[in-house]
Each structure stands twice: as C-alpha cells, then as structure tokens.
C-alpha cells in the first residue's frame, strides 16, 4: 500500500444541479472572510501557535481549593481569585451546573459549597444558604457521585468505607491479564493509578469547625447512602457492588507484605508520566495527593511539579467571562506566572489545547485563501507543530498496540505518553496543505501516518488514545459511575481518519477504508445522524462523517445514508437559519437543542450540508446567512455555550477557539463549493 503525499491534490464538494433559491451577498461573504482571517491571524502567539481558553464547570476551581487545603499550602491570592470565579457563576437557585443553561448539578454544587467553607465562608452567608437549599431539595449529601465522596473522605467528612475500593495490586498485573490498568481509557488510567494510593492509604486532613452536617436531609442514625449507580437486583453492576464489599472485607486483613511495593509501583508510574505530560486536571491533582499520601513533603519536586502544571492552567481576568486567550501577548512566555499578579478573578482551566487549536486555525486560514500558504506566519506555525511530534516509543498506547511505530501528536504543549488520534489527524491534514519542504515534513508525517494506521480498532473504527479499548465491564464497576472508563471507536474520529487517508491518496478499495466505512454504516443513528464523542453531539458527528464520505466522491458506498443525514440536518435547523445542540442529548440519547442558535454548531451543520452536496440548498444558504449576520465588526462570533465534550453526560468544555475558526472554515468551504 502506498499513500501519495502530493500537496497539490484538492478535493472539492460535488456541485448539485439545483439552482440556488437565493444567493448570499458575495461582498458580505468576502468581507467577513477577510475580517475573520485577519482577526484569527492576529491572535497567533509569537512562537507560532494558537492557544485558546478552555472553560468547563466550577468543580475544577473548587477542587483546586480542596487540593491546596489538603496539602496545607494555601496561596491566599489564588484562593481569593478562584473563589471569586466560583461566586461569579453561581446560579440564581444557588446551584452550579455542568455547562451554561444546564440544570443545577448536586455534586458540583456540594464541591463548590465545600470550597467556600474551606475558604472561610460562614454557612450563614447568602451564597451558601442558597446552595444549601438547592442541595437539600435535591437529595442532600448522601446522593453525591463517587468522586465527590472521595473528596469529602479526604477531609474526614465521610468514612472511606463509603468510597469504592480498588486494590493497588492492579499495578502488578501484566499487560496480558484479563484486566489491568491499560484496559482503562487513558484519562481514567491517569487518575486511577494515583487513586490506588489514595484509596488505600486513606489519608484524612482534619478540619476545625467544618462537618457539613447542614447538608444532610436526615439525622445521623437514618442516613442511607445511595449506591454509586442505580442497579437492578440481577445486574452486573449489582454483582460488582457485592465484589466491592468483599474486597473491603479482605482489605481489613492486616498482613499485606506486598502492599508497600504496589504503592511504590504506582508512585513511580505517576511520577514517570507527570514529568513528560501536561495532562488533564484530575490526573495532576490526584497525583499531588498521592505523593502527599505516600509521605512526600510539599517541597518535593514531585508535588511542586504537579502544582506548577496546575497553576499553568490558571488565567486571570476582571470581566464577565474569561478572555479567549489564556495568555497576554505582553507577558509571554510564562503563562503560569500571571496568577501571582493581583487579580479579582482566577479561572482554573481543566487542560490546555495548543496542539488542537493550532492546526484548526491553520486549516481555516488556508481554506479561506486570503493569506497565502507561503506566508511566514503560517509556515512558522507548521514548523511549531513539527516540533511537537511525539516519538516516545513507550507511550501508554504501546500496551494495546505493541507493533505500532511511535509518532503522532498530543493535545497539549507536552504529552509524551498520550498522543491521540484526533490531534494527529488534524496536524497531518495541516502539514499536508502547508508548503513546507518535503524533506522537512515528510519523516514526521510518515511516522504519524504509520501510527494512525496501526491504531485502527478491530471493528474498523478509531478511538482517541488507545487501540481496542472497549472492555465494557469496566464501565459497570462502582468506581465508574460517570461511565467514562473506555475509549472505543467513535464515528467522529473514524470519519476524520477516512477523510485524511483519502486526501493522502489511499484508495477507497483498501481494506482499511472498507472496514472503516462498515463501522460508519453500522453506527448511523436511526434518525440519520452520527454520534459525536468529542463535540456536542449528533451535529458534530454527522458533519465529520459527511465530510469523510464526500472525499470518496463516486466511490461513496453510503449515498443513501448521506442523503438521510442531510435531511436530518435540514429538519433541525432553527428559524433564524442557525443550528444548536445541547449536551442534554447525551443524557436523553436524542437530539435536543440549546435555547438559541450557536455559531460553531451552525458551522458544523453547514459544513455537513456542503459536504453532502447541499451547498445550494435553502438550509445551507440560511445557515451561511446566519453566520454573516452574527459576525461582529472584527469578523468574530460570540457564543457562551459548551460545544466540546470531555465525558458525555458529565463533563463539557466551552472551547473559546471554536467561535473563531469553525465559522471561518464554514464560510470558506461554502464559498469554494459555489464558486
């Protein structure tokens, strides 16, 4: 099999024969394209990359306050800034939600309430009184999720017995064992390993004057803690609850000569990974707690490394919302130093996304075609991406893919253990179009492509970080009440993989493509759309799949499926021409819109229609008109909604970059389709 890396190849959407019902004003379209391109280019970091803010829910800030108090090392200015952020986004009903417009969430509200108490707020303070009312009306403390229980147990507010147990001996299981740490998804694994130390060391930091008794609905003798998940009597979940009780009974046996060694293995694993990654918030925070529970002092390099990384996620601001950029161009290149300046509000990001933002910004600029590909600013960004290639042969992906060749890209500035398929696809797409000399880019592209091909799952699709990471039993253990312990194939990533491979010259007759197409055919929803794992939700998944099928041209075997998907997109369009979708669609397992149209999701829908041969349709025209009407004087779109997905049903992200580069990309693809 040979893949042609000819950068002159272009794939244009099929032009329909139906004349347009009306035309979008070309002057307006060209003007917005120019304004948006210039604005996006001006947001480039001096080092060449783009890096936008990631905004999630307030458990992230609350848990950073918990971490500081657990370590006994509170930075007052940071605590004040984070508390101001928590108070800023509290709802009128006293709650905190998982995303903008989401209903209040009990566990998130309990964690925010607890962080305010730790910061010195009286339970009689108005914000806490309002939060308390919401908590009690929604079941009280006994109904919180597993991770919230763990956070309460760390401070002796509930007994460790109420938390699931996970034997640290898991660290001793070989890769070929039926279950080991590498059967969990990368994000779950990065938290589970430090939790193996925490859950078995059972550290407790005593508090003076805080017991959260005010958050219980029942008196002490009548409290019944809800199981970590709802189960039926004969279910697998109920069996795991019984096993959990048995493990807790065995854990009381005092003679465990192997236990110190298992702790050392876990601590070594956490430290080895932490030195070479900028991972997500929970993994870093639990890593710091595990080091502390293991006996390391606060000034140890391990704990200080975790704290430095977490502080690098923080940004200061003094307005209604965090700025789009996590850095100030006047204060680069040390973003983590910014939090030490006086600041009324500090936002704790969950992670950072420069290697995701940069290629998308580049693709949008390249397809808008107003800035030439040879522009030194674009080439600088491309070379920055080349410098971020991950070549660590011992990444975690190796355990499920031992024959794979190291390559690819990760999400953050640095993450040598966790390259991911989605970022790798977008970086390869960008490098394919950028006129960087072949001798400079081809070796990295070849490695990245080889790694990508090796990561295809047996079912024909691709997951994000691991191969064949789909042992469904792990989503049923008591620890996994969030249901996010796996990384199976998903239509959105699979669609994007097909799109890239066809662009690079792979034939639709190749076995790799045929397997992937079969996966997409099997995974189409009855209503016509496709599930989106990493973007909300069916609009995102449908766009990526339609774009993949478009690249197949006449060889597309899913023509009927494509038409059905386009008809579904048309059916959900709002009256103003825009589109939107709420994360509630993950919970209800059906399409549900936000209260208003969202620019980034409108862009996805329009790009899906364009890819499906519907550029001249009334729906596509109205979608483009919506984007033109909503662009401000700088060619920027405002949106306050979460359109990125961390864990479906539990964790969502407002990617501030999405409102910059996705509408621009949609306008560019529409213009090209009708030219």
SS3 644: strand
Residue ranges covered by each domain of the chain: 13-42+526-675, 58-348
What is the pLDDT, as a whole number, of residue 479? Answer: 62
Residue 657 CA: distances (Å) to CA of 54, 159, 330, 668:
8, 42, 20, 17
Q: 């004003």: which residue's tokens? A: 25
Are the C-beta atoms of residues 323 and 331 closer than 8 Å to each other? no
Classified as helix, coil or strand, 348 is strand
The answer to whether residues 138 and 216 touch, using CB atoms and an 8 Å cutoff, is no
The DSSP result for 501-547, as a single string, is HHHTT--TTSHHHHHHHHHHHHH--TTS----SSBSSHHHHHHHHHH
* Bridge partners (DSSP) listed for residue 409: 420
Q: Which of 617, 656, 622 is nearest to 637 (CA)?
A: 656
Q: What residue ranges of the chain have pLDDT lower than 50?
A: 1-2, 5-17, 331-341
Q: Are 571 and 619 in contact (CB under 8 A)?
A: no
Q: Which fold, 13-42+526-675?
A: Glycosyltransferase (1.50.10)
Catalytic entry in 422, 470, 487, 492: 422
> Token pair for residue 392?
């660590």
The DSSP result for 41-101, as a single string, is HHT--TTS-----EE--THHHHHHHHHHHHHT---HHHHHHHHHHHHHT--TTS--BSSTT
Assessment of whether the complete model's pTM goes beyond 0.95: no
274 backbone dihedrals φ, ψ, rounded to 5°: -65, -30
Identical fold at 13-42+526-675 and 58-348?
yes
- pLDDT of amino acid 24: 78
Q: What is the chain's percent helix, strand, coil content, to nearest 5?
A: 50, 5, 45
| Distance from C-alpha of 653 to C-alpha of 357, rounded to nearest angstrom | 14
Question: CA 549, CA 555: separation in Å to the nearest integer?
Answer: 9
d(C-alpha 375, C-alpha 427), whole Å: 18
Give the model's pLDDT for residue 234: 52
Instruction: Give the per-residue pLDDT at 237.
Output: 55
Determine whether domain 58-348 maps to CATH 3.40.50.10540: no
Q: In what order do the strands lie in the sheet with 644-647?
A: 54-55, 651-655, 644-647
Neighbours of 1 (CB within 10 A): 8
455: CB partners within 8 A, 6+ apart: 397, 401, 404, 421, 462, 463, 467
Cα gap 380→574, rounded to integer Å: 40
Q: How far apart are CA 64 and CA 45, in angstroms?
A: 27
Kindly state the greatest CA–CA separation across the chain. 80
CB 360 within 8 A of CB 426: yes
Three-state SS at 104: strand
**φ and ψ at 172, to 5 degrees?**
-90, -10
Tell me if 150 sits within 8 A of 156, measured CB to CB: no
Q: Is 634 a catalytic residue?
A: no
């Amino acid at each position: 099999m040979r893949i042609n890396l000819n950068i002159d190849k272009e794939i244009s959407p099929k032009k329909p024969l139906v004349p347009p019902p009306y035309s979008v004003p070309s002057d307006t379209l060209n003007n917005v394209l120019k304004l948006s391109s210039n604005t996006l280019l001006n947001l480039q970091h001096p080092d060449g990359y783009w890096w936008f803010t990631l905004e999630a829910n307030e458990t992230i800030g609350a848990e950073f306050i918990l971490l500081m108090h657990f370590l006994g090392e509170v930075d007052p200015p940071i605590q004040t800034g984070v508390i101001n952020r928590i108070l800023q986004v509290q709802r009128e009903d006293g709650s905190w939600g998982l995303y903008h417009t989401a209903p209040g969430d009990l566990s998130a509200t309990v964690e925010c309430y607890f962080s305010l108490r730790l910061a010195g707020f009286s339970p009689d303070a108005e914000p806490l009184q309002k939060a308390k009312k919401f908590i009690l009306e929604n079941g009280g403390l006994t109904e919180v999720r597993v991770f919230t229980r763990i956070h309460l147990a760390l401070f002796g507010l509930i007994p460790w017995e109420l938390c699931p147990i996970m034997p640290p001996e898991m660290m001793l299981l070989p890769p070929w064992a039926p279950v080991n740490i590498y059967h969990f998804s990368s994000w779950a694994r990065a938290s589970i390993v430090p939790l193996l130390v925490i859950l078995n060391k059972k550290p407790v930091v005593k508090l003076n004057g805080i017991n959260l008794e005010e958050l219980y609905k029942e008196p002490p003798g009548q409290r019944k803690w809800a199981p970590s998940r709802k189960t039926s009597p004969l279910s697998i979940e109920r069996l795991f609850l019984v096993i959990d009780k048995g493990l807790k009974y065995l854990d009381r046996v005092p003679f465990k000569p192997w236990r110190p060694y298992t702790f050392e293995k876990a601590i070594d694993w956490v430290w080895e990974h932490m030195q070479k990654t900028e991972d997500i918030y929970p993994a870093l925070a639990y890593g710091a707690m595990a080091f502390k529970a293991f006996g390391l002092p606060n000034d140890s390099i391990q704990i200080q490394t975790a704290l430095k990384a977490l502080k690098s996620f923080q940004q200061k601001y003094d307005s209604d919302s965090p700025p789009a950029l996590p850095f100030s161009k006047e204060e680069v290149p040390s973003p983590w130093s910014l939090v030490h300046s006086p600041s009324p509000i500090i936002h704790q990001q969950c992670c950072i996304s420069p290697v995701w933002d940069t290629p998308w910004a580049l693709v949008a600029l390249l397809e808008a075609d107003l800035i030439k590909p040879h522009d030194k600013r674009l080439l600088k960004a491309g070379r920055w991406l080349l410098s971020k290639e991950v070549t660590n042969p011992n990444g975690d992906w190796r355990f499920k893919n031992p024959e794979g060749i190291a390559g690819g890209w990760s999400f953050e500035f640095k993450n040598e253990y966790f390259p991911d398929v989605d970022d790798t696809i977008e970086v390869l797409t960008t490098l394919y179009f950028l006129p960087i000399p072949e001798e400079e880019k081809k070796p990295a592209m070849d490695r990245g492509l080889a790694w990508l091909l090796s990561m295809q799952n047996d079912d024909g699709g691709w997951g994000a970080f691991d191969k064949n990471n789909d042992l469904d039993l792990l989503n049923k253990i008591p620890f996994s009440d969030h249901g996010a312990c796996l990384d199976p194939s998903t239509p959105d990533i699979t669609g994007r993989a097909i799109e890239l491979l066809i662009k690079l010259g792979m034939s639709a007759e190749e076995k790799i493509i045929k397997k992937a197409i079969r996966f997409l055919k099997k995974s189409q929803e009855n209503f016509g759309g496709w599930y989106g794992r990493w973007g909300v939700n069916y609009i995102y998944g449908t766009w990526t799949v339609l774009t993949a099928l478009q690249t197949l041209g006449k060889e597309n075997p899913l023509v009927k499926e494509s038409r059905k998907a386009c008809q579904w997109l048309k059916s959900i369009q709002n009256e103003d021409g825009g589109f939107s979708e709420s994360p509630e669609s993950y919970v209800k397992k059906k399409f549900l819109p936000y209260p208003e149209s969202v620019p980034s999701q409108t862009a996805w829908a329009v790009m899906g229609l364009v890819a499906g041969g519907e550029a001249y349709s009334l729906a596509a025209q109205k979608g483009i008109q919506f984007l033109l009407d909503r662009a401000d004087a700088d060619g920027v779109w405002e949106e306050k909604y979460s359109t990125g997905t961390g864990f479906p049903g539990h964790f969502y992200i407002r990617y501030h970059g999405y409102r910059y580069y996705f509408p621009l990309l949609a306008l560019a693809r529409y213009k090209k389709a009708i030219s």
